Amino acid sequence: MTATTASSAPTWTSMTRSRLVVELREFLRSREQMVFIFFFPMMLLVLFGSVFGGQEIAPGVTFAAYFLPGMVASGILNTGFQSLAMSIAIDRDEDVLKRIHGTPLPPTAFFAAKVAQVLIVSVVQVAALVAIGVVMYDATLPSGSGWWTFTWVFLLGTAASTTLGIAMSSLLRNAKAGSAIITPIVLFLQFTSGVFLVYTQIPTFLQHVAAIFPLKWLAQGMRSVFLPESFESAEVNGSWQHPATAIVLTIWVIVGLVLAVRTFRWTRHDDN
């Protein structure tokens, strides 16, 4: 090997970047991903907005603006959990993961690219949702410390969704049946976690069930960012519960990470 070839040898960073480009292309060129993952929360937000028109839930807060935090939380769940669980399960079923593992791409670079792809898509998606909320439904942007809260809730929520999505992909042994498993889970969480319905208006036992899972905390965290302070007293505990939100989401990140690492396979379950 000459010095020139050695210096052009791919590094971890260059391989991660290459893989990220592939991941982004695959996401952008997939109609399913773009419609059901990327645009879906926006379509729902606009749908809610047109159903309830300009009605206000409280002075200065339209229904659509009230639903915005839920849609932001939901988008994070879609892009991390739902999208990754489905796409990795399909890639495993189709031997795409096996092919990837047969190349020099380090596994850590593969996962870093997946995480970066989720982050990029989520940032654009959330930005678009917030822009729609602000322009069409008079939602207000967070101020000062609100951005800090937004940042940590967004990052912890994305991290939990991503690790749980990777872990969930291992449970979907038949990828074709995957959406029949994932969609009900996501819908159940959305209905019970204060995304489609006001959290305080659902039965208490469902509130308790939802409080086990991350979406409820993610939605609550986003409400604390996008809704006026006066809404804090309307929460179940009369508080945004930031410390509890941070703790529950962090636990889920750790649970997701452990499950993902322990269950991840490059090959099909029947392939050993």
Partner 1 sequence: MTEPAISIAGLHKHYGDLHAVDGIDLEIPRGEVFALLGPNGAGKSTTVEILEGFRKRTAGDVTVLGSDPQHAPRHWRTRVGVMLQGTSEHGALTAAESLRYAASLYPDPRDVDETLAAVGLTEKAGAKPATLSGGQRRRLDVALAVIGRPELVFLDEPTTGFDPEARRQFWTLIDSLRGDGSTILLTTHYLDEADHLADRIGIIAAGRMVALDTPAGLRSRASAARVTWTEGGAKRVEETATPTALLRDLLARHDGEIPGLEVVHPSLEDVYLQLIDHAASAAPETEEASA
Q: Which residues bind partner 1 (CB under 8 A)?
A: 1, 5-6, 8-10, 14-15, 18-19, 21-22, 25-26, 29-30, 90, 94-96, 98-99, 101-106, 266-267, 271-272
Q: Which is nearer to partner 1, 95 or 138 (CB)?
A: 95
The dihedral of CA 244, 150, 84, 260: what is its sign?
negative
Strands 61-62 and 56-58: antiparallel
Q: Take residue 144 and report the two structure tokens written for it.
A: 């000062």
- Contact (CB, 8 A) for 177 and 53: no
CA distance 246 to 43: 29
- Closest distance of CB 7 from partner 1, Å: 10
Q: Which is nearer to partner 1, 143 or 272 (CB)?
A: 272
- Contact (CB, 8 A) for 77 and 86: no
- Closest distance of CB 180 from partner 1, Å: 19
Helix axes 214-226, 178-192, angle to 10 degrees: 50
Phi, psi of 56, deg, nearest 5: -110, 140
- Closest distance of CB 173 from partner 1, Å: 18
Q: Which is nearer to partner 1, 11 or 50 (CB)?
A: 11
Element (H, E) at 163: helix 145-171
Can you tell me which residue has the tokens 């979907």? 172
Burial 201-224 (b: 16+ CB within 10 A, else e): ebeeeebebbbebbbbbbbbbbbb
Q: Which is nearer to partner 1, 17 or 242 (CB)?
A: 17
Q: Which is nearer to partner 1, 9 or 135 (CB)?
A: 9
Q: Which is nearer to partner 1, 19 or 114 (CB)?
A: 19
- Closest distance of CB 12 from partner 1, Å: 10
Q: Which is nearer to partner 1, 4 or 204 (CB)?
A: 4
Task: Please name which of 81, 251, 67, 218 lies closest in space to residue 149, comparing C-alpha atoms.
Answer: 218
- Closest distance of CB 134 from partner 1, Å: 32
- Closest distance of CB 240 from partner 1, Å: 41
- Closest distance of CB 223 from partner 1, Å: 36
